[in-house]
Amino acid sequence: MLDLRVLVTGGAGFIGSHLCERLLAAGCRVTILDDFNDYYDPALKRRNIEGMRDRLEVVEADIRDAVLLERCFAKGNFDVVIHLAARAGVRPSIANPKLYMTTNIEGTFNLLDACRYYGVKNFLFASSSSVYGVNTKVPFAESDPIERTISPYAATKLACEQICSNYSHLFGIRMRCLRFFTVYGPRQRPDLAIASFTAAILDGRPITRFGGGQSLRDYTYIDDIVEGIMLSMNDQGGQYQVINLGGHATTSLSHLIELIEHFTGNKARIIEAGEQAGDVPKTYADVDKAREILHWEPKVPLETGLERYVAWVKQQREQ
């Protein structure tokens, strides 16, 4: 059991709510900081934490509000900050890059500065496989040079990794920057491919397949991601680490659609479209470092995870 006071930013979201359940089960005292913005229906986020409200504290705040963050830290006396809150999504970041720059970069800076002044020495940052950009060497390893991100979202995540590195070096804060590779599972954001495709295929609505369905993604089931985060809280890998958390396999968009068709029992109605600006052609995680430092291994293959996810969606629709 862990007797830790943990702040989870974005704790009412998809990954955050699963993580909070796990932290509470481990004996942690959990505070969620979330602004419940309307990027997608805030009611879904409130529903995510409905069964936990009496066991944790919820602070409704924007990470750009440094004054409110200071009050939260002054009261919380946190041992660990797990920073999941961010404006997410490649395509929306192209439409509104300033929002991503201010929320993701300024918000992360505010949190790190609060850690500095309130003596929090353990900080975990949710980064993204998007930082690898158009890297042609696969699988992607943490030691690979990153020379060209291709979306504002990816640029903000890479910038935040560098700011984390600064604060680790200058102020002795233990940092883990965890590069997530396409996380999916129950409670997934409705705008993401697996969620939107599953809903549309079940409803008989058409889906859009970009770039001929040739893009390749490394999909990671939510339980594996949560396990990686938990292990990152107290591993012995040194002061500052960047670590991939991915499924260590690639699946084409076309094959993903075929799998969803199989598990839903419905045939997809497909509209073909060109490639999407900002989308990387391939992601594929080298997880050797996670194995070495965290003793972590992805355990849920895509077929198993998708079967679980579709079953969950059908159950939700029956309620």
Q: Is 167 one of the catalytic residues?
A: no
Q: Of residues 40, 117, 118, 153, which has the active-site annotation?
A: 153
d(CA 37, CA 23): 24
Any idea which residues carry the catalytic annotation?
153
